[in-house]
Structure 1
Amino acid sequence: MPGTHQSGDFVLDFMTSSAFSEYRVVTHSPDGLLLPEPGIARIYQMGKRSMDICGALIGLTLFFLLFPVLALLILWEDRGPIFYKQVRIGRYGKPFTIYKLRSMMSNADIYLTEHPELLKAWQQNGKLFKDPRITRIGGFLRRSSIDELPQLFNVLRGEMSLVGPRAIQSSELVAFGELGELRQMVKPGLTGLWQVSGRSMTDYEQRCILDCTYVMECSLRMDLQILFKTLPVVFRHTGAC
């Protein structure tokens, strides 16, 4: 849907004819332009949900085959829970619990509080460069995105979608400002526009902008293109941390 929106010192420009190419998402402008209400057709919602269910069932079949080996490797390196869970914000601001395979040491949160410089970097970026809390098997799980597979349960339950904005914590909404309500109009996704645009190589502001760009331009065509681009990105470990 064509339109623009100004937030802070940047303007989101959605005047693109393609569903997935040449996004002109950041342009400076002194004018405050209104944000149109995104219209998501019922046929898109039905098609997207059907795609989510089929994709989740296929992915969970693969996950169940890999799980025994992955669980043993996680426990062998670092005793603790196999799964990591955290409350995230879903569609319309509804909170839900997200699941991942644990890729960090079991006392990761305590480690962060004991290292103020790392805590500050985490609070600023939501990530740490060469995070010392990540285990060896955890590094592999993250590079391959296998740690994300349990989120297919969230997709099957209708809390997430295969494609959408990142599932964020409530504390991150501050960074989006008035765009926070916009990104909550769709379900968060397992993959999305920012993941195929550099993953961890994109900075936080760029990730916010790409998330909002997706909400304004989402379509089945875009979802399929993002899914097809996700596979080579994962296999090449592009931008993985």
Structure 2
Amino acid sequence: MSLFKQGRYSGYIRPISYIIDLSIINIIALLYLLKGKDPLIFSVFISIGWVLLSVYSNFYEVYRFTRPISILALIVKQFILFLLIVFAFSGLYHELDIYPRPIVKYALLCFVFITILKFAIYYLLQKYRTSLGGNYRRTVIFGHNKKTIALNNFFNKNPEYGYTHKKTFDFKNNNFSLEDCFQYILKENIDEIYCSISELTNTQIADTVDFADNNLKILKFIPDSKEIYSKKLQYEYYDYIPILSLRTIPLEESVNKFLKRGFDILFASFMIIFVLSWLTPLIAILIKLESKGPVFFKQSRNGFNYKEFDCYKFRSMMPNEDAHLYQATRGDERVTKVGKFIRKTSIDELPQFFNVLFGDMSVVGPRPHMVSHTNMYAKKIDKFMVRHFVKPGITGLAQTSGFRGEVETDKDIIGRVRFDIFYIENWSLLLDFKIIIQTFINAVKGDDKAY
């Protein structure tokens, strides 16, 4: 009953998506892959395989708050698994003479159509909510503080997600009554209740849970001020004892390490062979014509597990003794004319692809700081050392989010750390691709903090 309740997620979207996707993979197989062959065995095998893969990969677990990058990650994962399933079928039924190249083309065709369809449904539903006011959920919030105010603003400023916020209850009000809240929820036909953990007692939380369960209301909790529950916690059992791990790092898994290192080697090799091979002599000539000194600048920085390594750049300043102590500032007289150009376009960072090849750095990751600055920030900035759980990068999420270049105030480094920790806890290859593309766009457009 609750699945099709007004304001809840449409109970028809997922079954319809299954039917359409299964129709796509079978119709394309019939028209392209199985020309003149009996499609029955393939259709049964591949349809069952698709459904099982979808359950395993959570391919249809897409909600109104799911980000487009997460949808793309699901599509790529499903595509790889589906390709393996089709190859497995061709091995089991080799008498059908289905060859590898047509299989790859078939899978690509399927996922082009499925990708278009999946994003079309996603954006059409958003348009349906904003333009026609349909598929909405009514919400209330228990508690009044910075986080509940932020959630209230999110609901009001993002109608495409499909939430209509009705009321925020202030528990600090002397006239507050939990029973009045429950009556309001029933009267206004509220769908979701958001509770601030820090403002409810254990008894009130238990009463709210019982009310939500008994009245088919969705109950969600907003983390308290300690922010422990805002982490991506891992739930495990030691015998019968439940244990929560505060921080999970995807790059600690062997498969993810292999994928990231493999990508780093391929990307760095490509840049060295096809870009640095001809660009380095040109930059070297320009640097030498303007000032005496080396073409490359070497500086000690802290990397993975706080280990020091030599980070390479094209020299963009006049040789000076303060280069290892003070970062460049706006209008810095140490920066040469050539240096201004290569810093503005980020060309000075390109030699770090050798650092990537050596294994000291990654293409994407938290940007490494000078050793003197690392020691300083480690003492004064909370969670700064978390950045050293992974290899540093040539570019990173913080840099593409407005926190590159000179650290002018503590706010700059705090913002940088916040984005770096998010990257560490939510790493994926697709996130790396997104950051690389955004870095290239910023380099072309020019960044105000690139000086």
1:151 maps to 2:361? no
Q: Residue type of the partner of 2:262?
A: S
Q: Residue type of the partner of 2:314?
A: L
Cα distance in 2 for partners of 1:137, 1:67 equals: 13
Correspondence list, 1:170-189, <5 A: 170-173=371-374, 174-176=376-378, 177-189=381-393
Q: For residue 228 of structure 1, what is the aligned residue in structure 2?
A: 437
Deviation string 1:194-239 (CA, Å, 9 cap, x unpaired) is 2211234883332222222211221112111111111111111123
Q: For residue 197 of structure 1, what is the aligned residue in structure 2?
A: 401
| Bigger shift: residues 47-56 or 190-199 | 190-199
| 1:39 aligned to which of 249, 262, 275 | 249
Cα distance in 1 for partners of 2:67, 2:391 equals: 22
Deviation at 1:181, TM superposition (A): 3.1
Do the aligned partners of 1:19 and 1:217 also contact (CA within 8 Å) in 2? no
Deviation at 1:57, TM superposition (A): 0.6
Which has a greater percent of helix?
Answer: 2
Secondary structure of the corresponding residue to residue 109 of structure 1: coil
Deviation string 1:133-154 (CA, Å, 9 cap, x unpaired) is 1101001111111111110010
Q: For residue 55 of structure 1, what is the aligned residue in structure 2?
A: 267
Cα distance in 1 for partners of 2:69, 2:385 equals: 23
Deviation string 1:24-68 (CA, Å, 9 cap, x unpaired) is xx9799833346222323222111111100110111121121111
**Structure 1: runs of 5+ lacking an equivalent:** 1-15, 113-118
Q: For residue 13 of structure 2, what is the aligned residue in structure 1?
A: none
Correspondence list, 1:55-134, <5 A: 55-61=267-273, 62-107=275-320, 109=322, 122=326, 126-134=327-335
Q: Residue type of the partner of 1:70?
A: I
Percent of pairs with identical residues: 37
Q: Residue type of the partner of 1:165?
A: P
Cα distance in 1 for partners of 2:225, 2:425 equals: 20
Q: Residue type of the partner of 1:103?
A: S
| Bigger shift: residues 176-185 or 139-148 | 176-185
Q: Residue type of the partner of 1:94?
A: K
Secondary structure of the corresponding residue to residue 311 of structure 2: strand
- Which has the greater radius of gyration? 2
Cα distance in 2 for partners of 1:168, 1:227 equals: 20
How many residues in Structure 1 have an aligned counterpart in Structure 2?
Answer: 210
Distance 1:201 1:159, change over 3 A: closer
**Structure 2: runs of 5+ lacking an equivalent:** 1-64, 71-145, 151-222, 232-245
Q: Residue type of the partner of 2:356?
A: V
Cα distance in 1 for partners of 2:310, 2:440 equals: 25
Q: Residue type of the partner of 2:349?
A: E
Cα distance in 2 for partners of 1:20, 1:103 equals: 36
Cα distance in 2 for partners of 1:227, 1:214 equals: 13
Do the aligned partners of 2:329 and 2:406 also contact (CA within 8 Å) in 1? no
1:207 maps to 2:419? no
Cα distance in 2 for partners of 1:19, 1:184 equals: 29
Please give the root-mean-square deviation of Cα atoms over the aligned residues, in Å.
Answer: 2.8
Secondary structure of the corresponding residue to residue 319 of structure 2: coil
TM-score of the pair, normalised by structure 2 = 0.43
Q: Residue type of the partner of 2:337?
A: R
Do the aligned partners of 2:316 and 2:342 also contact (CA within 8 Å) in 1? yes
Do the aligned partners of 1:192 and 1:211 also contact (CA within 8 Å) in 2? yes
Q: For residue 194 of structure 2, what is the aligned residue in structure 1?
A: none
Deviation at 1:20, TM superposition (A): 6.4
1:135 maps to 2:297? no
Do the aligned partners of 2:298 and 2:310 also contact (CA within 8 Å) in 1? yes
Secondary structure of the corresponding residue to residue 194 of structure 1: helix
Deviation string 1:51-101 (CA, Å, 9 cap, x unpaired) is 100110111121121111111110111101111111111101111000000
Cα distance in 2 for partners of 1:82, 1:31 equals: 50
Do the aligned partners of 2:249 and 2:424 also contact (CA within 8 Å) in 1? no
Q: Residue type of the partner of 2:340?
A: G
Structure with larger RCO (C-alpha < 8 A, sep 6+)? 1
